[in-house]
Amino acid sequence: MSFTDKHVVVTGGTGALGTSVVGSLLQQGAHCVVPYVHDAELQMFPHRGQAHVGLVPVRNLADEGDVARVYEAAGAPLWASIHIAGGFAMGKVADTDKSALMAQLDSNLISCFLCCRAAVRVMQGEGRIVNVAARPALEPRAGAGMSAYTIAKGGIAALTVALAEEVAKDGILVNAVAPSIMDTPANRAAMPKADHATWPKVEEVAATILFLASHDNRVTRGAIVPVYGKA
């Protein structure tokens, strides 16, 4: 795979999975635009300062103005847009109010929708979009106790399939990955007694994302790819 001189937006690029995706893209010659919300994220981001990394401060990727600024910074033509940004919250339906529901929809589904919208508007003739859903999007029973999150990620899965059909004739291939719990320091700290060896590693999930976003992917569209590892 080569991304030489290809322009790629990576939302959530300063997180554990995003950092791995951006690092792999840079190794393959890409120019990456990475929005970030908190200065603390920026200070910990290992790829800051690199010539092929453009960092764009935003307040909220569920805001159309902030999203527009990200894609203006990406330059043209945009080859790929990878949407990792999102949020997670546990909560039974009985304990989840409208504010908590909307927070999950905004951070996951709305941000993904707006970034997809911006991406297809600036892609010229060919491109790739990769969204990040989650295992409960494919297995809603696993979403018990986290219904708002499951709804939001399920919406991303539906958006992926519908948009893939909508833009296929424009040469844009749209897919998503659906990770199970990934092996990150934060997840290990939250679940110290879990069998961490079964969790997919971020670099393994990143490899699937890179293929879907690459020119080597010539035919796959509308797929929600499970990336569960042994879990």
Residues known to be catalytic: 149
Rounded-to-integer distance, Cα 132 and Cα 83, Å: 6
Classify residue 69 as exposed, middle or buried by CB count within 10 Å of its CB (0-12, 13-18, 19+).
Answer: middle
User: Which H helix or E strand runs over 128?
Assistant: strand 127-132
Q: What token pair was written down for 67? A: 């999203």
Sign of the CA dihedral running 192, 194, 196, 202? negative
Question: Helices marked H in the chain — which ranges?
Answer: 16-27, 39-44, 64-73, 98-104, 111-122, 135-138, 147-167, 185-190, 202-213
Rounded-to-integer distance, Cα 183 and Cα 228, Å: 11
CB atoms within 10 A of CB 103: 18
Residue 132 has φ and ψ, to the nearest 5°, of: -120, 110
Q: What token pair was written down for 130? A: 């990769």
SS3 state of residue 178: strand
Closest CA to 86 of 137, 29, 145: 137
